[in-house]
A and B are shown apart, each in its own frame.
Chain A
Amino acid sequence: MLTLTNVTKNFGGLKAIQSLNLEVEEGQIHGVIGPNGAGKTTLFNLITGFAHPTSGEMFFREGDISSNKPYQIARQGIARTFQNIRLLPGMTVSESVMSGQLNQRITGWKNHSTKNIRRAKKNVDELLDFFKLSPYKETFALELPYGLQRSLEIARALATEPKLLLLDEPAAGMNEQETEMLAEDIARIRGEGCTVVVIEHDMSFIMGLCDRITVLNFGMKIADGTGDEVRNNPEVIEAYLGK
């Protein structure tokens, strides 16, 4: 579904990503792990068009997205969340999720029809139900408890009706119970037919959840495979624990 071939990204002299090959298959939950500074977030920024690769190519469902703008990529069906939660200040929970529906609705004047808007509202309500956010509909986004802020960000991303969802450290700062709920949510999102890529530090979380895991270190892929394969890979152990 998503293919990266020989992607390299340099920031001046810093090689953030070095000739990376990555294949994300449809319907899977794909984990990306690695120590701090391994290039995980840079990878997401490249895929979503917030940064462009120095060299190499990226394909999404057969189309080249290497030089696309973020909004074009989003419209093609890739949605993302941010490492530091970015909620929309001044908007309520339902308004925030509605923002995600907009790109489906504002291309062309005929889409301003009441029927279209009614459908958008229905979609928003369904998403809020899905994430158990319905009781907070009219709450301002920034006033939500932390765990629900993460849920809201994911709901907003899903409102763009993506085929591929990129989650940047969704479990950061969550307690065990919240992490469990998040894992359930991610599994349910996959159940709805959306492929998911997760960046995470929490090893137990990612091992239990992902079908496939890619390990990055210093911008290079050092391992790729199922949880067990990755866990027993000597290079991975070295990167995480040192020699």
Chain B
Amino acid sequence: MDIIASPALQIIVGINIIMALGLFITVSAGQFSLGHASLAGIGAYISAVLTVNLHWPFLAAVIVGALAAGIFGAIFAIPALRTRGIYLSVLTLGLGELVRVFFSTFEYTGGVAGFGGMKGTTVGIVYLTLLFCLIAVGILMRSPLGRAFQTVAADEMVAEALGLNTVRLKVLAFSLGGMMTALGGALYAHFMFFIDPHSFNYNQSVFLLIFVVFGGMESMWGVVLGTLILTLLPEYFRGLDQWRMVIYGLVLIFMMAVRPQGIITKRLLRKVGRGFAYINKRNKELWRFESNSKS
């Protein structure tokens, strides 16, 4: 249990959850993006240039980085308008690699050698941001806009027939999701002091998607739990050296075989909710019974 006391790990867990929540927004509209790590990279690079080269204050740089990545997210959405499902995933994978290659050859940010000198991310800032993100996603998922995302995910043709502009909604899902992931990316850059294009390659995109799917992509709590487990798991097995990734893989295979819908589903949340309601009702009845027998 002692490793959880390390602030570095706490920050990584928080940042991973923020990035996964961003992807969750995009996925909630049915858009399985495999390019979100590169959006995090865009947020990281832009905010890093702003703080290191232009001496902007940390907070402003992080926010501007995230907003800029939101615009790139909308550009990512362009192929999404024409492809769906697995084809979309492969396309976003390609776009992500394109961004990575761009940063590898872009001299201004150091190319493959990377870019350094950022600082400022603390545990407090990460968890305040995370709290903000959780509230934002929670509100979004209950809002008409979030429900429209879910309708598009469930059946695009029906969504369109119900008067929803699926094109606009998909662009928004990529843009808003990309923004939140980039927020995580910007915090990551200012925590690591140093970033290079490889910090944001397709591997990271795949991990983000696994975080979302593993915990259950029907609710944000699934995403939080999935990210938490899958970020801490390799750390706990660090002593096993190269075997730890084998264990990681086995856990994933086991989950997909036993519970492909993820750990937390809507159905589970409802059961828990009913359970609490039931206990409440019973407590009330018991209390009423006792007070009746007293009188």
Query: What is the interface of chain A, defined by CB distance below 8 A to chain B?
Result: 48, 50, 69-71, 74-75, 79-80, 82, 86, 88-91, 95, 98-100, 102-106, 111-112, 117, 120, 138, 156-157, 159-160
Contact = CB atoms under 8 A, between A and B. Distances in A.
Nearest to B159: A99
B164 A102 contact: yes
Contact of B144 (A50, A69, A111): A111
Given A100-B162, A102-B162, A102-B164, A91 B150 contact: yes
B13 to A, nearest CB: 28
B83 interface: no
A2 B26 CA distance: 38
Contacts of B160: 50, 69-71, 74
B144 A112 contact: yes
Given A99-B158, A117-B144, 11 more contacts: A50-B161, A69-B165, A70-B161, A82-B161, A86-B155, A88-B151, A88-B154, A98-B147, A99-B154, A104-B163, A157-B161
Give 5 closest A-B pairs by Cβ, nearest first.
A103-B163, A74-B163, A88-B154, A70-B160, A99-B151
B143 interface: yes
Interface residues of B, number: 22
Contact of A112 (B143, B157, B159): B143
A47 to B, nearest CB: 11
A159 B154 CA distance: 17
A159 B144 CA distance: 14
A153 to B, nearest CB: 9
B147 A102 contact: yes
The B interface, classified by DSSP as helix, strand, loop or mixed, is helix
Contact of A106 (B148, B155, B270): B148
Given A105-B144, A112-B144, A117-B144, A88 B161 contact: no
Given A50-B157, A91-B150, A91-B154, A156 B145 contact: no
A139 to B, nearest CB: 11
A112 B163 CA distance: 17
B284 interface: no
26 contacts: A48-B161, A50-B157, A50-B160, A50-B161, A69-B160, A70-B161, A71-B163, A71-B165, A74-B162, A79-B161, A80-B161, A82-B161, A86-B155, A86-B158, A89-B154, A90-B154, A90-B218, A90-B266, A95-B150, A99-B158, A102-B162, A102-B164, A103-B164, A104-B163, A112-B145, A159-B162
A74 to B, nearest CB: 3
Contacts of A98: 147
Contacts of A71: 160, 162-166
A161 to B, nearest CB: 9
Contacts of A50: 157, 160-161
Contact of B163 (A82, A86, A88, A160): A160
Contact of B155 (A75, A88, A95, A159): A88
A102 B166 CA distance: 12
A75 B160 CA distance: 10
A103 B218 contact: no
Contacts of A48: 161
Nearest to B218: A90
A138 B267 CA distance: 11
B147 A86 contact: no
Contacts of B218: 90
Contacts of A99: 147-148, 150-151, 154, 158-159, 162
A157 B161 CA distance: 8
A90 B163 CA distance: 20
B152 to A, nearest CB: 10
A160 B147 contact: no
A106 B140 CA distance: 12
B113 to A, nearest CB: 44
Given A88-B151, A90-B266, A102 B144 contact: yes
Contacts of B148: 99, 102, 106
B145 A106 contact: yes
Contacts of A104: 163
Contacts of A79: 161-162
Interface in B98-155: 143-145, 147-148, 150-151, 154-155
Looking at A82, A90, A106, A157, the one whose CB has the most chain B CB atoms below 10 A away is: A106
A75 B145 CA distance: 16
Given A102-B147, A106-B145, A111-B144, A86 B159 contact: no
